[in-house]
Amino acid sequence: MKKRPLGRTGVSVSALGLGCMGMSMAYGTRDDAESIRTVHRALELGIDHLDSAELYGDGHNEELLGKALKDRRAKAFLATKFHNGVKNHRNPEGIAEKGTAYVKKACEMSLARLGMSHIDLYYVHRMDPVNPVEEVVAAMDALRKEGKIRFIGLSEAGPDTLRRAAKVAPIAALQTEYSLWSRDHAEKEILPTCRELGVAYVAYSPLGRGFLSGQFKAPEALPANDRRHEHPRFQAEHLAKNAALLPPLESMAARKKCTPAQLALAWVLHRGDDILPIPGTKRVKWLEQNIAALDISLSAPDLAELDKAFPPGVTSGTRYPEGAMKQLGR
C-alpha cells in the first residue's frame, strides 16, 4: 500500500482510507457482519486510515469499529470526531454546552465505545457554535498531553478558523468534502491554507456520495430510506442537470478500462500527495474496486479533460440541506 504523510506529524497513513459512516447510517440498512468483514479486508490490503464519529449511528459506528479492531488495533490509524450541540447519547437534549468540559467527556465516551486507550486522530466534527476555537483546541491539546489522543483535527472549518486553531496547538489534518463535483469550496481557500500551514487535507465523499459511480442518475435509483433524498444535489430538479455532467467521465473510464468511480478516485489522488481521500463503503466488493484506483495513471491531458468537464461550481444544488450548510466553513 502506498503511504502519504499526515501533515507535518512525521506519521504516514495509507494513501486511500476508509470512511465508515455508511456502516451505521445514511445509506440503506446496516449489515454489521459485512461491515466488519470490510474493515478486516481493508487492513489486509494495507488500508489503515479508518474514519468514524460519535455522530455515526449515535455511537454505533464506534462500537462496531471497536469490535472489528479488538485484536487488530495496532494495524489501524483510527480517526473519530465529536460535535458540540448534536443530539446523541452524550447530549440527549442536543444543547450546545458553554465551556469545554464536554470535549473530555466526549473523548472518554468514544474511548469506552471503541474499547481503546487512545484515538489516533480526534476531530471537531463541526465548529463549536458557542465556544471559541482557541478554547476547544486547548481542551483537545490537554487530551493529547494525557495520551488519550495522538493528533488534533478539524472538520469543515474555514481558513481563518484553521489559522486561529494552529496558533494554539499543532493541527494534523483538516477534513472537508472534495471530489470532481465538490471542488470550489476546497480549492479556492481550504487547500491553499492547509498547504501554507503544513496540515494534511482529508477528502471525504471523494465519489460525490456515490454520484460519480454513475449509478444514481434519478432519485428513484436511491434506496427508499437513503439520506441522500434530503440532499439538494440528489433531488430531481438538480440531479437531471448533474447527470448530464457524467458522459465525459464515463467515456474516459471506458477508454482506461476502469469504472467511473475508480477514475473519480484517481483524480482526487492526483491532486496532491498531501490529500488523503477516505471513500466510504460497507461492502468488500466496493472496497476492492476502490483500491484499484491507486493504479490508474492520469496524464496532464487526462486531467485537463476532467477539469473541463467538472469545473469548480458546475454542480447544481448545495452539498447539504440549508440547515446543515450553515454549519460549514465557520
CA 79/CA 84 separation, integer angstroms: 17
Helix residue ranges per DSSP H, the chain: 32-44, 60-68, 101-114, 133-146, 159-166, 184-185, 191-197, 236-243, 247-256, 260-269, 284-291, 300-309, 322-325
Residue 282's nearest CA partner among 39, 44, 23 is 23
- Active-site annotation holds for 56: yes
List, in order, residues 6 or more apart from 51 with CB less than 8 Å away. Answer: 17, 18, 19, 20, 21, 79, 80, 175, 202, 204, 278, 280
Question: Distance of alpha carbon 4 from its chain centroid, rounded?
Answer: 16
- Please name every residue paired with 81 in a beta bridge, in sequence order, or none if there are none: 123
Residue 89's nearest CA partner among 51, 120, 62 is 62
Given the residues 27, 56, 122, 123, select the one marked as catalytic: 56
Residue 286's nearest CA partner among 206, 225, 226, 229 is 206
Catalytic residues: 56
